[in-house]
Amino acid sequence: MTQEFVPITISGTGSYAPKRILTNAELAESVDTSDEWIFTRTGIRERRIATDGELTSDMAAEAGRRSLETAGIARGEIDLVIVATTTPDMPFPSTACLVQHKLGLNSLAAFDLQAACSGFIYALETAAGMVRSGAYRNALVIGAERLSTIVDWQDRSTCVLFGDGAGAVVISRNHDPKSGWLGAKLGCDGSAVELLHLPGGGCQIPASSDSVEERQHFIKMKGREVFKAAVRVMEQSALQILEHHGLTADQVGCVVPHQANLRIIETLASRLGIPMDRFFLNLDRYGNTSAASIPIALDEAVRSGRIKSGELVLMVAFGGGLTWGSSLIRWP
């Protein structure tokens, strides 16, 4: 017996960025760097930093609220919440449970998903599968990060890269046969943990005065190796998903890539043969917001009219793990 899948789509998008802007020039007052170095190596000019009491769940809830508004879906109709985050409010309960409460949702299920910067693409695929099965009507999928908490502000090789924020989408059943969600391809290489990780705070290095002293609770990264791996896996993943659906790179109307580094995106564009003007970029204003990066960019691309109805949209990400993934949607 073959299983019938429910067609699905993204019915709404939303995002939230904290008000506080931290410019490259301001960073250069505390670490040995410059606006020129940061901009030419990364394309980043500034990033947003959450205020003291502003938690990942607060940013996630606000982005989620905005996406529900654009989807025109009542809170009672959301029965699944997934939050992709590397910076939850606390180890448990999940940030998704906190968001469910803050938004007053009657969800059947709420949980967090951790796949570093690829988290949103992983969460999208998870929610897509659950809604497609017919068991859930609408899912709220959020990528939210307060990376400023886990960035080592004394390490100039990482602190210049990251920022805070949240983005969200609503996944719903689709009634338009000409548009909608096509699918995703995910990947992982667990042998590359050392390239990008946060060693402290888990059972391997529990929090102690020594672990704090040794700065084990901050992001550690081998930038050059990450750069090379990122280009390779994003290209591979994008080509895989296109091929799977019998599509080619020239049919893509808009690419929404993980906003980590402009040079990574430019190299990817040239390898895929997709002109840079088809890539939506906002990393100059936000830096790398990890799991929040793609949904913030997607929301801005939709609201600014950059993504048009009927256009093929490719989202592609990579992150710690290493993890990677891409997804395709014919925009509604």
Q: Which of 24, 97, 117, 254 is catalytic?
A: 117
Site for ligand ACO in 23-42 (CB under 6 A): 33, 37-38, 41-42
The site string for ligand ACO over 218-257 (x = CB under 6 A, - otherwise) reads ---x-xx-xx--x---------------------------
Catalytic status, residue 288: yes
Among residues 261, 267, 289, 327, which is the contact residue for ligand ACO, using CB under 6 A?
A: 261
Query: Which among 138, 159, 258, 261 is annotated as catalytic?
Result: 258
| Known catalytic residue at 174 | no
Q: Using the minimum distance from each CB to ligand ACO, give the nearer residue, 8 or 192.
A: 192
- For residue 62, the tally of other CB atoms under 10 A from its CB is 23
Compute the C-alpha angle 72/74/75, nearest 5°: 130
156 binds ligand ACO (CB under 6 A): yes
Q: Is 117 in the site for ligand ACO (CB under 6 A)?
A: yes
Q: Between helices 223-244 and 262-272, what is the axis angle to 10°?
A: 40
Least distance between ligand ACO and beta carbon 291 (Å) = 9
Task: Please count the other Cβ atoms lying within 10 Å of the Cβ belonging to residue 93.
Answer: 15
Pick from 9, 44, 51: nearest CA to 25: 44
Could you give the CA distance from residue 169 to residue 128 in angstroms, rounded to a whole number?
Answer: 11
> How many residues interact with ligand ACO (rule CB under 6 A)?
24
| Token pair in block for residue 279 | 């890539």
Order of all β-strands in the sheet with 323-330? 180-188, 323-330, 312-319, 254-257
Q: Among 138, 261, 282, 288, which one carries the catalytic annotation?
A: 288
Our CB check for ligand ACO shows the closer of 116 and 130 to be 116
| CB of 266 or CB of 311, closer to ligand ACO | 266
b/e burial code for range 98-115 (CB count within 10 A of at least 16 → b): bbbebbebebeebbbbbb
Phi, psi of 186 (to 5 degrees): -115, 160
Query: In b/e form, how buried is each residue of 281-306, taking b as 16+ CB within 10 angstroms?
Result: bbbebbbbbbbbbbbbbbbbbbeeeb
Min CB(188)–ligand ACO separation in Å: 12
Task: Decide if 262 contacts 283 (C-beta within 8 A).
Answer: yes
Q: Which residue has the tokens 């109307």?
A: 253
Q: Smaller CB distance to ligand ACO: residue 160 or 254? A: 160
Cβ at position 300, least distance to ligand ACO in Å: 19
Closer CB to ligand ACO, 114 or 126, in the complex = 114
Of residues 216, 320, 328, 331, which one binds ligand ACO by CB under 6 A? 320
Which of 68, 105, 160, 256 is the binder for ligand ACO (CB under 6 A)?
Answer: 160
User: Which positions are annotated as active-site residues?
Assistant: 117, 258, 288
Chain residues binding ligand ACO by CB under 6 A are: 33, 37-38, 41-42, 116-117, 156-157, 160-161, 196, 221, 223-224, 226-227, 230, 260-261, 288, 290, 319-320
